[in-house]
Chains A and B, each alone.
Chain A
Amino acid sequence: MFAFIISRILQALPVMLVVSFISFAMFAYVGDPVSIMLGQDFTEAQRTELVASLGLDKPFFVQFLTFLGNAVQGEFGLSYRLSRPVAELIGERAPATLELALCAAFIAMAVGVPMGVYTGLYRNSWLSRFFLTFSLIGVSLPTFLIGILLILTFAVWLGWLPSFGRGDVRPLGFWATGFTTWSGVKALILPAVTLGLFQLTLIMRLVRAEMLEVMRTDYIKFARARGLSNRAINFGHALKNTLVPVITIAGLQLGAIIAFAIVTETVFQWPGMGLLFIQSVGAADIPVMAAYLMLIALVFVVINLIVDLLYYAVDPRLRTRR
């Protein structure tokens, strides 16, 4: 087990290296931060000075190695746009994104799995047909449209929930959380639902398909022949056998939720990393963009490692194979 984790971490290293190279190379040739930082009026001397202070006059690989060396120490330089340390900026924004993403993932799992089980077990019932139709909407409507429709309904017409921002945020150690205040919780609902809706319908459809598959197997038939209760069969024997593919997709989707919260954060003006990234793109703020991409790569690597470990926990056949 320990050897497995070590080997996976070693495998992750080249991945991170390649991602950092690509992100750095890409941004090094996209946009010109210098002209944006200088504005309209500047002298050639000012320009040269700024280029030198940012280290942009050095050869590409020297720049990259410097970037990498700093990155390993958690040092991503100063934001060109805000002139503040990138690590600090991301550290400020990360709690907002993570709270949003985890809430969205929780909604998707907590609602999607039971709906999937239900539609898998009673596939001809009226409610199942309704769920399936509803899931088509979730799968096919783009996130920004769902967000706008929710704002229109719950913020504009009904006036129940705020349409933007994070509400009141209280510090909890280094973590600024919105969970402890009523306005923070209220502000979280709409963006979390928006972000989670697609994942919810995806997970529901996946669980349904897997349940239909598993219910046809001989071991379910045999479990019935042994006289086990429906509850034990549906939620013990059947559901557990659907878990491996569900864990895979849920893990990947959690990564996707964190990485692509950008649209939702933009719609709701949610002060998270996605919004920071979009603003940085506009200003060609390379250090922030590079750091963000590397962070997202790290998130994916870590989630995949956890997913692999969960396979081991769920499926005994994998445990003995090595």
Chain B
Amino acid sequence: MSLLELRNLRVEFPTRRGTLVALDDVSFSIAPGEVLGVVGESGAGKSMTGAAIIGLLEPPGRIAGGQILLEGRRIDNLRYDDMRRIRGKQIGAIFQDPLTTLNPLYTVGRQLVETITTHLPLNPAQARARAIEWLERVGIPAAAQRIDSYPHEFSGGMRQRVVIALALCAEPKLIVADEPTTALDVSIQAQVIALLKGLARDQGTAMMLVTHDMGVIAETADRVAVMYAGRIAEIGPVREVVKQARHPYSAGLMASIPPMDRRVDKLAAIEGSMPRLSAIPQGCAYNPRCPRVFSRCMVERPDLIPAGPTDAACWLYAPGAPA
């Protein structure tokens, strides 16, 4: 059984000028211990998917359809307090900017201890010992002394390590990591990703890794989901998607990674930009930008269909497509 399963998830934002559909028919699953990378342009719905899973959509956003299942049990319709018990304990979360995700007025130790005692049956002294253990595991030097430091006394990279410890300290089965390295120095990014990957592997924790960075995905993820305009464009094993993407959008994304082995005069880019949620074209949302667009794409919206080793939401892989 998969650990997490999304079935036809739909998230809407009611606004004064009509309802915006931020996520439409998003389905995927994550197996225990698996790392699913989620990529796409800004506004494609990557972070929104993460927020929906941990039950923290910003109002007025709401789940308007579909289901989210954790170990076969629906969690999208739980009451706030029941979902609260799942957050942190079953599903941990890591946010983008470590400079703002820690409360500046409390020591990192206090924040760790309160998280641990909220979810695990430990007394404060045991929780503190556990907190020191976690700070050591995420690579904070002299953890026993540093536990009483305040967030501002740590560098950005060290703070993200603390955030990782906070997300993992109640030993959740799934981590939703929303651009965990975007705000960090490039030199630190690789370290933090390696740490996250290592800890997840040791704990058997599954991970949904949202990022812009294809390099991070290629190195870390088992499978990857490419999102476009609130839908999944393609999902499949990471090697297949990176090497030979089936969906023209994923292919364009991969082609826009600059090659390391030769000089190029001009970086490849996908023409145009993603449509706004209020102006998604009829048919396939990618049709205005797609180099391989044909008549059916302008009329019908494609669902995910098998396209070799991956699934792609593209009519090119349906019977009767032009060669």
Residues of chain A having any CB pair with chain B under 8 Å: 217-219, 221-230, 232, 236-237, 240-241, 314-317, 320
Contacts and interface: CB of A to CB of B under 8 A. Distances in A.
Contacts of A217: 100
Interface of B: 54, 56, 80, 84-89, 92-93, 95, 97, 100-107, 114-115, 118-119, 150, 152-153, 163, 166-167, 170
B54 A225 contact: yes
14 contacts: A219-B102, A219-B103, A219-B104, A222-B102, A225-B54, A225-B92, A229-B84, A232-B114, A237-B103, A237-B106, A316-B105, A316-B152, A317-B104, A320-B153
A80 to B, nearest CB: 53
Nearest to A321: B152
Contacts of B119: 227
Given A241-B105, A317-B104, A226 B166 contact: yes
Nearest to A218: B100
Contacts of A227: 84-89, 115, 118-119, 170
B56 A221 contact: yes
Given A224-B87, A227-B86, A227-B88, A219 B101 contact: yes
Contacts of A230: 80, 84
B88 A225 contact: yes
Nearest to B163: A222
A225 B86 CA distance: 9
Residue among A223, A232, A315 having the largest count of chain B Cβ atoms under 10 Å:
A223
A236 B115 CA distance: 13
Interface of A is mostly: helix
Nearest to B58: A221
A315 B103 CA distance: 11
Contacts of B103: 219, 223, 237, 241
Contacts of A223: 103
Given A219-B104, A226-B87, A228-B115, A316 B93 contact: no
List the 7 closest A-B pairs by CB distance, nearest first: A227-B88, A225-B93, A227-B87, A218-B100, A222-B101, A316-B150, A226-B88
Contacts of B85: 227
Contact of A226 (B107, B118, B153): B118
B207 to A, nearest CB: 15
A221 B95 contact: yes
A241 B151 CA distance: 14
Contacts of A240: 105-106
Nearest to B93: A225
A232 B103 CA distance: 12
Nearest to B87: A227
Contact of B104 (A226, A229, A232, A316): A316
A81 B305 CA distance: 98
B251 to A, nearest CB: 34
Given A217-B100, A227-B85, A314 B105 contact: yes
Nearest to A319: B150
A171 B103 CA distance: 48
Given A224-B56, A228-B115, 14 more contacts: A218-B95, A218-B97, A221-B56, A222-B93, A225-B167, A226-B87, A226-B167, A227-B88, A227-B119, A228-B84, A228-B114, A229-B118, A237-B106, A320-B152
Contacts of B118: 226-229, 232
Contacts of A314: 105
With a 10 A CB-CB cut-off, give which of B56, B93, B105, B115 has the most chain A CB atoms: B105
Contacts of A218: 95, 97, 100-101
A219 B115 CA distance: 13
A158 B315 CA distance: 81
A222 B95 contact: yes
Nearest to A219: B103
Contacts of A224: 56, 84, 87
Contact of B56 (A219, A225, A229, A241): A225
A225 B102 CA distance: 12
A225 B87 contact: yes
A227 B85 CA distance: 6
Contacts of B115: 226-228
B273 to A, nearest CB: 27
Given A227-B85, A227-B170, A228-B115, A317 B100 contact: no
B95 A317 contact: no
Contacts of B88: 225-228
A315 B95 contact: no
B78 to A, nearest CB: 12
Most buried by B among A218, A236, A315, A320: A218
Nearest to A216: B58
Contacts of A225: 54, 56, 87-88, 92-93, 95, 167
B138 to A, nearest CB: 15
B169 to A, nearest CB: 9
Contacts of A316: 104-105, 107, 150, 152
B266 to A, nearest CB: 37
For A223, A224, A225, A315, the residue with the greatest tally of chain B CB atoms inside 10 Å of its CB is A225
Q: B88, B100, B101, B118: which has the most chain A beta carbons within 10 Å?
A: B101
Contacts of B167: 225-226
Contacts of A226: 87-88, 92-93, 115, 118, 166-167
Contacts of B93: 222, 225-226
A227 B56 CA distance: 11
